[in-house]
Amino acid sequence: MERTSGSAVFPLGSLLPTFQLMNVDGRVIGSEYFQDGKAYLVAFLCNHCPYVKGSEEMLISIVNRFSPDGLKAVTINSNDAVAYPDDSFDRMKQKARDMSLPYPYLYDESQAVARQFDAACTPEFFLFDSARTLVYHGTINDSPRDPTKVTKDYLSQAIAAVIEGQVPNPQFVHPLGCSIKWR
């Protein structure tokens, strides 16, 4: 069933769930990472998805651009690494090194955090305001698989609004990507 207005399980207005996951650098990082910011981004990504591959350079740019203004971001890989070895923790570490990721890349091996967020695909973005309230859920842009065709940057627009103390418009744009690979 296609979602048209976000998740019934984790709707707009939900509070940031509590979680702790292993980062590619060996540290445990979780929801406590989100302190003293103006906007908090949780992105579900992986290594193998062509939609992630097509949008990750844009995500890196967005995080680098908005971090000085108060954005804090983490990315989470919840895919089944047994069925999809490219999404293994070792491959995540390699990707983080190769791409010099400017944000934690966390491994949700149990898939429990993806279930908390009711995440369905990669890439999928959840943006919270400083009160840790979900104010944007959806896609990064209108062409996550092919960056040469992007005409709408939904995520930057949402982050800018939150940093300015405003509610993003739109607040939901259907995520575009590959399904999370559940066990």
With vertex at residue 61, the alpha carbon angle to CA 58 and CA 63, rounded to the nearest 5 degrees, is 110
Rounded mean pLDDT, 73-90:
97
Q: Which of 103, 128, 137, 119 is nearest to 178 (CA)?
A: 119
**pTM attached to this predicted model:** 0.96
Per-residue CA distances from 167 to 130, 135, 172 (Å): 12, 7, 11
Cα distance between residue 88 and residue 41, in whole Å: 23
CATH number of 20-179: 3.40.30.10
Handedness of CA 79, 26, 112, 38 (dihedral sign): negative
**pLDDT range class, residue 5, cuts 50, 70, 90:** low
Q: Is the CB of residue 157 less than 8 Å from the CB of residue 170?
A: no
Cα distance between residue 82 and residue 85, in whole Å: 6
Res 49 pLDDT > 80: yes
Q: Is 139 exposed, middle or buried (0-12, 13-18, 19+ CB in 10 A)?
A: buried
Res 4 pLDDT > 80: no
Q: Is 148 exposed, middle or buried (0-12, 13-18, 19+ CB in 10 A)?
A: exposed
Using DSSP, state whether 17 is helix, strand or coil: coil
Res 60 pLDDT > 50: yes
